[in-house]
Structure 1
């Protein structure tokens, strides 16, 4: 399965798409119970899209049930606690962006180890 649906859902943000995929992989390991495990396995395997899975009432009901304690905790936080949590989330996103950029640089370096391709167009002249 490719990450195109995840990219679409995260407004083409590859870091958030990666985090979404990793979250589904955690759920697929059983982290959120059997129902969400099944849903995540269906999505990660490509047998079902995430939007399609959200339309399955058993999956949606379980996701809402699992999220309820988090929503309650968020509601009970002060504004400063929420801001601190948001800042920590942003710090983690920035860290993930740096890691992804580094991975891409490393991959690019592996594909061009300094040896010029015959067809790269550099150094060509008609004269």
Structure 2
């Protein structure tokens, strides 16, 4: 399989990430960050290629998961994580779950703060020719 360079004029379709995250923008953002980490080569060349394909918009995440080479590598890479998870005590698992919930809550707060600031910027600035502030009389 020939490798396609990472740079592409296309971009990924974020709606698929939102759909996979059940319309939770914070989870979609974390999923995208995970793809960006994989694209850096964090988990080897195969998953790097897969993540780059998805981030560039050349392939959807579901389509990538259906590629045998990508799926097999993802399973292989996740096996040690599953083993470590199984070896944790119930308390350790709950602590990690709480940490994950905390990260999601923080992402949600940041996204909401960004939306609020954007809305304030839009409402606080007039359009150049909005007609307010002058009169013929």
Q: Please give the range of the TM-score, normalised by the shorter of the 2 chains.
A: 0.7 to 0.9
Supply the distance in 2 between the matched residues of 1:113 and 1:34 (Cα, whole angstroms): 48
Q: CA deviation at 1:30?
A: 0.8
Structure 1, unmatched stretches of 5+, are: 120-127
Q: Which has the higher contact order (CA 8 A, sep 6+)?
A: 2
Displacement, 1:29? 1.1
- Asked whether the equivalents of residues 54 and 64 of structure 2 are also in contact (C-alpha less than 8 Å), the reply is yes
* Alignment partner of 2:81 out of 56, 70, 92: 70
TM-score (norm 2): 0.81
Tell me how far apart the structure 2 counterparts of residues 106 and 97 of structure 1 sit (CA, whole Å): 14
Aligned length: 119
- Using the size of structure 1 for normalisation, the TM-score is 0.88
Gaps of 5+ in 2: 1-11, 132-137
Q: How does 1:103-122 map to 2 (within 5 A)?
A: 103-115=114-126, 118=130
Give the aligned partner of residue 4 of structure 2.
Answer: none
CA RMSD of aligned residues (A): 1.6
